[in-house]
A and B are shown apart, each in its own frame.
Chain A
Amino acid sequence: MKAESVLAKAALSQLPRILGLGDRRKGSRTWGCFDRHYWHYRLHDWSNARYQEAAWLMALAYSSPMPENRWRGLPALRQWALAAVDFWAKSQNRDGSFNEVYPRERGFCATAFSAYCVCETLLLLKVDPPPQVARTAKWLADHDNPAVANQRAASCAALMSASALMSAPRFRAIAEDRMELLLKDYRANGYFPEYGGFDIGYTTVTLSCLAGYLTRSPSEGVQEVCAQAVGQLEPQIAPNGQFDYSRASRKTQYVYPRAFARMRSPVIDRIAAGVDEDLISSPAWMDDRYVIPLATDYLLAALELGG
């Protein structure tokens, strides 16, 4: 089976499970909330904003023309994606940030990644942004996390998408400046720093954000570093997609495939082989929290290969 098809199936097979995480009852107070622990089990006193990233997966499934995709054009999917965006906007802190682990956390990670997904959803579905998007972009412009490259890369991608969505060149300029700092860090260390060390899995998260950034803003510097980092990872990933994560700084057990697909790296066939043989961490192996971004990246990788 072709890599494109393997990755698309691995992503789309998780969609019914992810839809089950969401409150799909129109008129409910928590309509569009994808944190089932909050709206359904009522175990938490806050909703984790990262669950709202399901919006992008639904929007991609709604709009992607691929033979494996039986969800394309279903109106309910578009409606749920926009409901997820609405709930994201409702759960925003006053300063524009979002919470992931506890109320009023103002997490950089949750704000950067969820904003990136929301902006891409709205761009894909051609919907005007709610006012909360501008507030979040401003918060991201004012905050940074240099110790964690993947979060910094997500904030660059989010600012670039927000700039495209709102035709706001100011956010584009901030994204470009921050991206320069990220590339400088890479060139100085020879890797993208993750709490002071190298981590294969999180490097692929960073590269995925860089791939997203490149779709909005072609940049020779980003392209060059992407190619270099992908080349650096290639010898570390076995033909069946497995890799040694025991010495990585964050012990991440999965890889995001999008950048490998974009760079047409042979690693994409290795990941597909590992997924096909059920040997490596794929979306189906993830918990409810991680299945959403990983499934989204698998679908984006399939689309990169198809495009």
Chain B
Amino acid sequence: MLMTSARLIIMRGYLLTLGRLSIFTRLLRWFLLKLLVRGKKEKYVPSARFFSMNELED
């Protein structure tokens, strides 16, 4: 799921208002992990998908 302008505005609005209370940032983190990592066939891992020499053989 890519970032879009609408998603960015909603997220900023949420964090700058409700995000003042840590429970809401923890809630957002739980939601993002569920959305992007847990139970996904292809999990989001920031440190992945760098170049590998094996790709030249494909």
Query: What residues make up the interface of A, taking CB atoms closer than 8 Å to B?
Result: 16-17, 19-20, 23-25, 29-30, 38-46, 74, 76-77, 103
Contacts and interface: CB of A to CB of B under 8 A. Distances in A.
Interface string B45-58: 01001110001101
B7 A40 contact: no
A76 B2 contact: no
B55 A40 contact: no
B4 A76 contact: no
A23 B2 CA distance: 13
B17 interface: no
A38 B1 CA distance: 11
Closest 4 CB pairs of A and B: A20-B50, A19-B51, A20-B51, A45-B5
A45 B8 contact: yes
A103 B5 contact: yes
Interface of B: 1-5, 7-8, 44, 46, 49-51, 55-56, 58
A69 to B, nearest CB: 14
How would you classify the secondary structure of chain A's contact residues: helix, strand, loop or mixed?
A: loop
A134 to B, nearest CB: 28
Contacts of B7: 45
A272 to B, nearest CB: 27
B42 to A, nearest CB: 9
Contacts of A41: 46
How would you classify the secondary structure of chain B's contact residues: helix, strand, loop or mixed?
A: loop
Contacts of A38: 2-3
18 contacts: A17-B51, A19-B51, A20-B50, A23-B49, A24-B49, A38-B3, A41-B46, A42-B1, A42-B3, A42-B44, A43-B3, A44-B3, A45-B3, A45-B5, A46-B5, A74-B56, A76-B56, A77-B56
Contacts of B50: 20
Nearest to A79: B58
A74 B57 CA distance: 9
A39 B44 CA distance: 11
A39 B49 CA distance: 11
A8 to B, nearest CB: 19
Contacts of A45: 3-5, 7-8
A29 B2 contact: yes
B28 to A, nearest CB: 14
A33 to B, nearest CB: 10
A247 B44 CA distance: 45
B2 A42 contact: yes
Contacts of A76: 55-56, 58
Nearest to B49: A40
